[in-house]
């Protein structure tokens, strides 16, 4: 299996622009998680899905963040409009028990 | 709200030493506790899972114990390739990570 696939690996954008991060989970995994990692706050859980349904989005910082999982093989995390404080590495992970992480998307908002 | 704390934040043992780290957790509903390792520039990778207090697990040079509200992880005979950040994570479905212990092995 190819593992969890995230794109893009790096994104540099200007404040105010829309950012869309993408994730393809491992086939057969019924949980999908989005995490954000910064030096100051470590790995923060933003939202997780079970069988494509959002279960807990209490970690989503504010209304500028949204996530969707239209089917079992694809999820997006969107930030609109982006701000410099959103700069971080965003990880997607899928699970049937332990979590399998993608390589992350490093976002820089100027 | 789930919380996980690590101790120490940084560890710098000499090659061949034992590295010892721990975490404490407060989660709303416990299912299991997991340890992960993250190398620079990569996503965390699962090392092992534990399911009840008193549970011990050995995997190669890793030895972990699950306590009532935390866990300890020992790495024996540390090697430079063990250098990474180690996380424990817990919670039922809503898996919460701590900030981790950064291990830097001195050759």
The per-residue pLDDT for B94 is 82
The per-residue pLDDT for B28 is 67
Instruction: Please say whether the beta carbons of B88 and B33 come within 8 A.
Output: yes
**Interchain contact, A45 vs B96, CB within 8 Å:** yes
The per-residue pLDDT for A2 is 82
**Interchain contact, B97 vs A98, CB within 8 Å:** no
| B5 strand-pairing partners | B24
Substitution target from A30, A40, A43 for chain B, most B beta carbons within 10 A:
A43
- Mean pLDDT confidence for B84-92: 90
The per-residue pLDDT for B98 is 85
Tokens of residue A89, six digits: 């590495």
What is the SS3 assignment for B104?
coil
What is chain B's mean pLDDT, rounded? 91
Q: What is the pLDDT of residues B21-65, one digit of tens each?
A: 999 988 666 678 899 999 999 999 999 998 877 788 899 999 999
Facing A103 at nearest CB: one of B42, B98, B99: B42
Name chain A contacts of B43, Cβ cutoff 8 Å: 4, 91, 93, 101-104
Closest CA to B90 of B45, B47, B26: B26
**Interchain contact, B46 vs A100, CB within 8 Å:** yes
State which H helix or E strand residue B5 sits in: strand B3-7
Q: Does A101 touch chain B (CB under 8 A)?
A: yes
- Residues whose CB falls within 8 Å of the CB of residue A95, separated by 6 or more in sequence, listed in order: A29, A30, A31, A32, A33, B95
Facing B43 at nearest CB: one of A45, A98, A101: A101
Q: Is the pLDDT of residue B13 over 70?
A: yes
Q: Is the pLDDT of residue A1 over 70?
A: no
Q: How far apart are CA B87 and CA B89, in angstroms?
A: 6
Q: What is the pLDDT of residues A25-84, one digit of tens each?
A: 999 999 999 999 998 889 999 999 999 999 999 999 889 999 999 999 999 999 999 999
Contacts 24+ apart (CB under 8 A), B58-65: B62/B35, B64/B35
- Mean pLDDT confidence for B89-106: 89
CA A28 and chain centroid, separation: 19
Name chain B contacts of A99, Cβ cutoff 8 Å: 34, 36, 44, 46, 89, 95
Lowest average pLDDT, out of A49-53, A94-98, B81-85, B92-96, goes to: B92-96
The per-residue pLDDT for A62 is 85
Q: Is the pLDDT of residue B2 over 80?
A: no
Q: What is the pLDDT of residues A80-107, one digit of tens each?
A: 999 999 999 999 999 988 999 999 999 9
Q: Which residue of chain A comes nearest to B39, CA vs CA? A: A103
Q: Is the pLDDT of residue B11 over 90?
A: yes
Instruction: Please say whether the beta carbons of B46 and B38 come within 8 A.
Output: no
pLDDT-derived band at B3, boundaries 50, 70, 90 = confident
String of DSSP letters for B47-96: EEEE-STT-EEEETTEEEEE-SSEEEEEESS--GGG-EEEEEEE-SSS-E
Q: How far apart are CA B72 and CA B64, in angstroms?
A: 6
Share of chain B above pLDDT 70, in %: 95
Q: Report the 10 Å Cβ neighbour count for A49.
A: 22
The per-residue pLDDT for A66 is 97
């Amino acid at each position: 299996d190819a593992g969890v696939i995230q794109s893009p690996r790096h994104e540099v954008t200007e404040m105010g622009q829309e950012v869309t991060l993408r994730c393809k989970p491992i086939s057969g995994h019924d949980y999908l998680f989005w995490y954000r990692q910064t030096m100051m706050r470590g790995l923060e859980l933003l939202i997780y899905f079970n069988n494509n349904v959002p279960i807990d989005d209490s970690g989503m910082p504010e209304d500028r963040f949204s996530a969707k999982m239209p089917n079992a093989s694809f999820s997006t995390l969107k930030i609109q409009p982006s701000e410099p404080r959103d700069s971080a590495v965003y990880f997607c992970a899928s699970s049937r028990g332990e979590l399998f992480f993608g390589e992350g998307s490093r976002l820089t908002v100027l | 709200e789930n919380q996980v704390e690590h101790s120490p934040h940084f560890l710098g043992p000499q090659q061949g030493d034992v590295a010892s780290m721990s975490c404490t957790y407060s989660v709303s509903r416990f299912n299991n506790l997991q340890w992960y390792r993250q190398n620079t520039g990569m996503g965390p990778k699962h090392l092992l899972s534990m399911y009840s207090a008193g549970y011990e697990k050995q995997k190669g040079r890793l030895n972990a114990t699950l306590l009532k509200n935390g866990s300890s992880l020992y790495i024996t005979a540390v090697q430079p390739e063990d250098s990474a950040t180690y996380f424990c994570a817990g919670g039922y479905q809503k898996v919460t990570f701590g900030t981790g212990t950064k291990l830097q092995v001195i050759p």
